[in-house]
Amino acid sequence: MGYDVHNNHTTLTRRRNNYVQKRKWQRWLYRNNLLCSYSANCFFPFIVGDFVFIMLGVTGYLLNRFYISSYSFPFFTNHFNDLLAGIIFPAYINILLALHRKRLKGYIIPLIIILIAGLFWEYVTPLYRHCISDPKDIVAYVAGTFVYCTSIKLFDKRIKRIVDPKKQETVQINAKNE
């Protein structure tokens, strides 16, 4: 029942290596603009933006389900809901990441996530549910995510100009110099 110095040192080394490896990944993601972290005072508008995207997607789905698809437009009948899923899914992921003060940023990671999810939904799900696989749905998921990423990039630029304290200080300093 003695104190094992070697075992304790190995455990501490393993924990430190895991922490260092995690930090390397986080630095790589931040450096390549794939993940960003905002301070608490300017994080709220981004969550509201994602919530608005989810509400617009749900509204579009309900309109399509009960009104538009009854007119037999082929795109609205077959792929519009998949396009909306491509918008809603990354917004939902960003809201979940907001609990850890993180956010998906850019195009690469959200497109990879939706591509993996789309492949699962279209090729694995038909194995255990009675549904039909359609490769065009994956294209609709990716297109919806591309629309989301483009829109959120424009939205983020506007919100950062309004909320970012560093940019506000720069504007105030420039206004005093003129």
Whether 93 and 104 have beta carbons less than 8 Å apart is answered as yes
Of the two residues 120 and 70, the one the predictor is more confident about is: 120
pLDDT at 143: 95
More confident position, 128 or 48? 128
The region of weakest confidence among 16-20, 30-34, 161-165, 174-178 is: 174-178
pTM of the model: 0.66
pLDDT at 20: 59
pLDDT band at 40 (very low <50, low <70, confident <90, very high): very low
Q: How many other CB atoms are there within 10 angstroms of residue 93's CB atom? A: 18
Residue 168 has pLDDT above 60, yes or no: no
Domain parsing of the chain, residue ranges: 1-31, 38-163
Angstrom distance (rounded) from CA 67 to CA 69: 6
Contact (Cβ atoms closer than 8 angstroms) between residue 57 and residue 140: no
- Mean predicted lDDT score pLDDT of the chain: 75
pLDDT for res 173: 43
Check residue 41 and give its pLDDT: 45
Q: Name the pLDDT band for 120 (thresholds 50, 70, 90).
A: very high
For the cut 90, the answer to whether the pLDDT of residue 112 exceeds it is: yes
